[in-house]
Amino acid sequence: MLQFSANLGFLWNDLPLPDAIQKAKDAGFVAVELHWPYTTPSADVKAALDETGLPCLGLNTQRGDVAGGDNGCAAIPGREAEARGYIDEALAYAREIGAPNVHVMAGFTDRSAEAKATFAQNLRYACAQAALTRRTILIEPLNSRDAKGYHIGTVPQAQEALTAVDLPNLKIMFDCYHLQIMQGDLANLFEGCRDHIGHVQFAAVPDRGEPDSGEVDYTQLLPELARLGWARPFGAEYKPRGAMEDGLGWMQSYR
C-alpha cells in the first residue's frame, strides 16, 4: 500500500498548524510536510507531531520579500548573507521538530554563470550545516508557467547544480506537477535520476487540484515509481478545488 504525506502549505492551511497535523492524522496521512511554518513556535509543531505520531518530512527556507516578487534568494548574487540566514533558520526549525529535509529556495535569476556559482556556494554552505545533524538539502525545479524565471525549472538544471556542489546530502525534490508541465515522461524521468531524489510530490495537472483527474493518471504513475524504488511517502501537495475534506476520496484508490 502506498503512503502519503500531507503538505500543510496547501492542505488544511486555514487551520493552525497543530490542528492541521491532527486533521492529517485523522485522514490517514502517515506524515506531514510544511512550507513556511515560522510564525508557529516549533515547540507547538513538535507537540502536535509527538501527539499524533506523524513525522514531518521537511520545510522550505523563507522566500524573502514575497510582496516584492521574491521566491527565494539562494541563487541571487549579492544576497548571500540573507540566503544563509534563511538556511540557518530553516535548519534550526527542522532540528527542533525532527524534520530530515530542508528545501532551499533559489529565487528568480537570469541563469547567468554568476547566479549558478552563487547557488552552488550557498548550497555548499547549506549542505555543510545540514550534515552536522545528518540532514538533507533539497532543490526543486518549478514550472515556468507558475514561477517564470525561477532558477531551476527542469531535472537537468537541478542535476547541473548537484554536479557543481558534489555533496551527498544535496537531492532533488521531484514534484510530478511541475515536472509534467516542464518535461513529461515522468516514470522515465524519475528512473533516470532516482538516486538523486530526496522527496516526491504530486498534484493534478494542469489545475494543481486533487490528484484524481487531469493529464497524469497517478493510480498508474505512483505504483510505478514505487516499483522503481520509491519506498517513502509521496507528498500530496495540491490545492483543494472545494472543501478540503470533500476532496480526500482520491486516497481510496490506493488502499
The listed partner (ligand LCNOYBR7, Mg ion, none) that binds 103, CB under 5 to 8 Å by sort, is ligand LCNOYBR7
One-letter amino acid for residue 235 of the chain: G
Among 35, 95, 239, 241, binds ligand LCNOYBR7 (CB under 6 A): 35
CA dist 126 and 183 (Å) reads: 28
In the complex, the smallest distance separating the C-beta of residue 71 from ligand LCNOYBR7, rounded to whole angstroms, is 7
Cell of 75: 541563487
Query: Which of the residues 167 through 196 are near ligand LCNOYBR7 (CB under 6 A)?
Result: 175, 178
Q: Give me the residues paired with residue 6 across strands.
A: 32, 236
Binding site for Mg ion (CB under 5 A): 175, 201, 237
Residue 212's binding partner among Mg ion, ligand LCNOYBR7, none (Cβ under 5 to 8 angstroms by kind) is none
Closer residue to ligand LCNOYBR7 (CB): 7 or 129 = 7
Query: What 3-state DSSP class applies to 165?
Result: helix
> Is residue 60 part of the contact set for ligand LCNOYBR7 (CB under 6 A)?
yes
Rounded CA separation 142/91 (Å): 22
Binding residue for ligand LCNOYBR7, selected from 155, 189, 209, 237, defined by CB under 6 A: 237
Q: Which is nearer to Mg ion, 58 or 247 (CB)?
A: 58
Contact flag: residue 210 with ligand LCNOYBR7 (CB under 6 A) = no
Gap between the Cα atoms of 107 and 119, Å rounded: 10
Q: Please state the closest distance from residue 199 (CB atom) to ligand LCNOYBR7, in A.
A: 9
**Least distance (Å) between residue 101 CB and ligand LCNOYBR7:** 11
Residue from the set 48, 87, 115, 140 that interacts with ligand LCNOYBR7 by CB under 6 A: 140
Q: Does 212 bind ligand LCNOYBR7 (CB under 6 A)?
A: no
Answer whether the bond into residue 206 is a cis peptide, omega within 30°.
yes
Say how far apart CA 255 and CA 249 lie, in whole Å: 11
> Catalytic residue at 140?
yes
Helices 113-131 and 80-97 pack at an angle, to 10 degrees, of 30
103: CB partners within 8 A, 6+ apart: 58, 59, 60, 61, 137, 138, 139, 140, 173
**Measured on CA atoms in the order 240, 241, 246, 252, is the torsion positive or negative?**
negative
- DSSP H or E segment with residue 178: helix 176-182
Query: Which of 51, 210, 237, 245 is the catalytic position?
Result: 237
Residue 125 or 177 with smaller CB distance to ligand LCNOYBR7? 177
Positions touching ligand LCNOYBR7 (CB under 6 A) are 35, 60, 103, 140, 142, 175, 178, 201, 237
**Catalytic residue positions, numbered:** 140, 237
